[in-house]
Amino acid sequence: MRVLIAEDEPDLVEILSDGLRAQGMAVDAALDGARALERLAVHRYDVLVLDRDLPVVHGDEVCRAVVSGGARTRVLMLTAARSLDDRVAGLNLGADDYLAKPFAFDELVARVNALGRRSHPAAPPVLVRGDLTVDSARRQAERAGRVLTLTNKEFGVLRVLLAAGGAMVPSEELLERVWDENADPFTNTVRVTVMRLRRKLGDPPLIETVPGAGYRIP
């Protein structure tokens, strides 16, 4: 899952970014509304964690732009205001969910995960293909009863490939959905990650390469 955090408090951005990355998410950040809009124009995000009181471009305007643009990005709006009127106003702008500061990090993670599931066609929480099982909620993968020790990127690639239901997934899509904006699109990072993943999955091989296009698990 790829997440954009639009928040003007650097310390909070760092805490949220580190915490969500530890959950296996790809995370980008913007410290004002203008930068958030720039990133949204370039990248596809599953979830936007949006502070309502952003400088330069107000969070309300960012929310309106996301909604009017027809993107699949789901919006979790953050605000220091706790009144019912403020919550209603945020939701009326088109936000998908609303969280008042201060909040528990575990609750934010649960809400981000829930919104992320809504940003794509529904997929079962446990994906199975032959003797391979991937449990997204527990972040655990097994093959033939053997628990696989995977990095966050390896797990993310495996989950995206399995969720594709046998269809080919372009390398560019894997890079977009599993890595953040710091990933260099001209490197071989996807190929290297798939190579390591293949080694950990063992035999018989599961991941097929579609030359010049991407990968699939048939």
User: What's the confidence (pLDDT) of residue 58?
Assistant: 94
2-118 CATH: 3.40.50.2300
> Which two three-digit tokens encode residue 85?
């009127």
User: What's the confidence (pLDDT) of residue 83?
Assistant: 59
**122 or 208: which leads in pLDDT:** 208
pLDDT band at residue 188 using 50, 70 and 90 as cut-offs: confident
How remote is the C-alpha of 210 from its chain's centroid? 25
User: What's the confidence (pLDDT) of residue 122?
Assistant: 52
User: What's the confidence (pLDDT) of residue 179?
Assistant: 83
Q: Which CATH class is domain 126-216?
A: mainly alpha
Lowest mean pLDDT among 7-16, 111-120, 166-175: 111-120
User: What's the confidence (pLDDT) of residue 194?
Assistant: 94
In whole angstroms, what is the distance from residue 44 CA to residue 155 CA? 20
Per-residue pLDDT of 64-95, as tens digits, reads: 999 888 778 999 999 876 656 666 776 778 88
Count CB-CB contacts under 10 A for residue 135: 14
- Close Cβ partners of 3 (under 8 Å, ≥ 6 residues apart): 20, 25, 26, 27, 28, 45, 46, 47, 48, 49, 112, 116
User: What's the confidence (pLDDT) of residue 186?
Assistant: 61
Count CB-CB contacts under 10 A for residue 36: 29
Contact yes or no for 72/43 (Cβ under 8 A): no
Q: Where in the chain is the domain with CATH 3.40.50.2300?
A: 2-118
Per-residue pLDDT of 107-157, as tens digits, reads: 999 999 889 877 665 556 788 889 999 998 788 999 999 999 999 899 999
Q: Where in the chain is the domain with CATH 1.10.10.10?
A: 126-216
Share of the chain above pLDDT 70, in %: 91
